[in-house]
A and B are shown apart, each in its own frame.
Chain A
Amino acid sequence: MRWLVATVAETVPETARAVTLRLDVPDWPGHRPGQHVDVRLTADDGYQAQRSYSIASPPESDRLELTVERIDDGEVSPYLTTVADVGDQFELRGPIGGWFVWDAGDDAPVLLVGGGSGVVPLRAMLQHHAGSGSAAAMHLVQSARTLGDVIYRRELEALVGPRRAVTVTLTRESPPDWGGHRGRVDAGLLAEQGWPPAAQPHCYVCGPTGFVETVADALVELGHAPGRIRTERFGPTGG
């Protein structure tokens, strides 16, 4: 798979720690929502570092977007979130991964569950749902520590409509007038926002390992077939 040159066209701050990079990538072959890319940075003396990032944009977006959360002792994410600016270049290759992907032609209902920046590939799915006019119903449950940590908050709220729902739960602190959910994602919230197993929904779960373990176990407990639950995990390791 070939390395392509990406040029930063725009940077969009999402939270105090997360930035969306809108990229011009000539010869981008297109992708499916949920896939990721490998990013390679090269220093002027030839030193290189690689990391993987989920694609944040849907296939129909005019630019490829990556939303990157800064890991303080990381190597690549501090560069992408605090140094990279309009006109800067790096290399990427992709799209990668054919498992954690959603097909708009599939009418089965979809439950998306994202913890922290785990919402990034799910945003691509939700936007693709809107952009493709899919007949499936799609619900997103998004977990964040505080209101300020909710990535894409306004944007995803604006996508709510027929066949699309978004629920945000705040795990650490919430404003007194907070109208959403409080606390960690559990079986109760998943049963309320998801579908009964008999509806044979697809479940996509993305987030840190502990989050994904808990949510995937709860979905199995609710009776969902393990084969209908697709997971993508990441840790704060090295980003």
Chain B
Amino acid sequence: MPVVSRGFQGRRRQPGAGLVPPGQYIVDDFPVLTAGPTPDVSLDDWDLTVVDDTGDALARWGWEEFLALPAEDITVDIHCVTKWSKLGTRWRGVSVDTILDGVDTAAEYVVAFCEGGYTTNLPLADVLDGQAWVAYGFEGEDLEPEHGGPARLLVPHLYFWKSAKWVRGLRLGDQDEPGFWESVGYHNYGDPWREQRYWGD
């Protein structure tokens, strides 16, 4: 039994409160959380690559080439491990199914790597079948740098740190390698509905 905090009432039922995972609350704004400075990304130098675990490129797109890929409009709820959830966010981006279409791999895991060295790890199965995108539009606008623009990974069924900002590629491999936050105390998988926030959850 959790201890009762004397005199605590709480804000109670927010509209939509039943739609969020345990321990989350709903926000209307879009908080920014990042481990360091926001990188200044030049679109001329930008590319997105898919590499195997030896670093060999399996696929590569420059910015214009990437924009030419079939895009999807996605409306999803997002859940940050710092407790906020945002409902009905609208994104535009390329499905990871499209990105990996034509890539022949037996890999079981993927590491998303980013401008500035940030990484996050996921089972490959979690980014396939319409579950993940590389998104470059948010609410009808270009994705802003502080929210991960020009492009970020979007994996809305996991805590939002898995939706890596400033993504530059996907590395496919047989080994599960903990990424940046996963190496400093945060859960390796991060299912918000099972409240997998930290190591040992």
Measured CB to CB, the residues of A under 8 A from B are: 1, 3, 5, 38, 40-44, 47-52, 75, 79, 83-84, 88-91, 96-100, 209, 213, 216-217, 219-220, 226-227, 229-231, 233-235, 237-238
Contact = CB atoms under 8 A, between A and B. Distances in A.
Most buried by A among B27, B32, B39: B32
A226 B39 contact: yes
Given A43-B8, A89-B5, A91-B3, A231 B83 contact: no
Interface string B1-25: 0111111111110000000000101
B82 interface: yes
Given A5-B3, A88-B6, A99-B184, A231 B11 contact: no
Given A40-B23, A233-B33, A237-B84, 5 more contacts: A41-B10, A50-B23, A50-B83, A83-B6, A216-B37
B68 interface: no
A1 B201 contact: yes
Contacts of A98: 183-185
B200 interface: yes
> Chain B interface: which size bin?
35 or more
A97 to B, nearest CB: 6
B62 interface: no
Contact of A96 (B27, B34, B183, B185): B185
B37 A220 contact: yes
Nearest to B35: A99
21 contacts: A1-B200, A38-B197, A40-B2, A41-B5, A42-B2, A42-B4, A43-B9, A75-B10, A89-B5, A90-B5, A96-B185, A98-B184, A98-B185, A99-B35, A209-B32, A213-B32, A216-B37, A226-B37, A227-B116, A229-B36, A237-B29
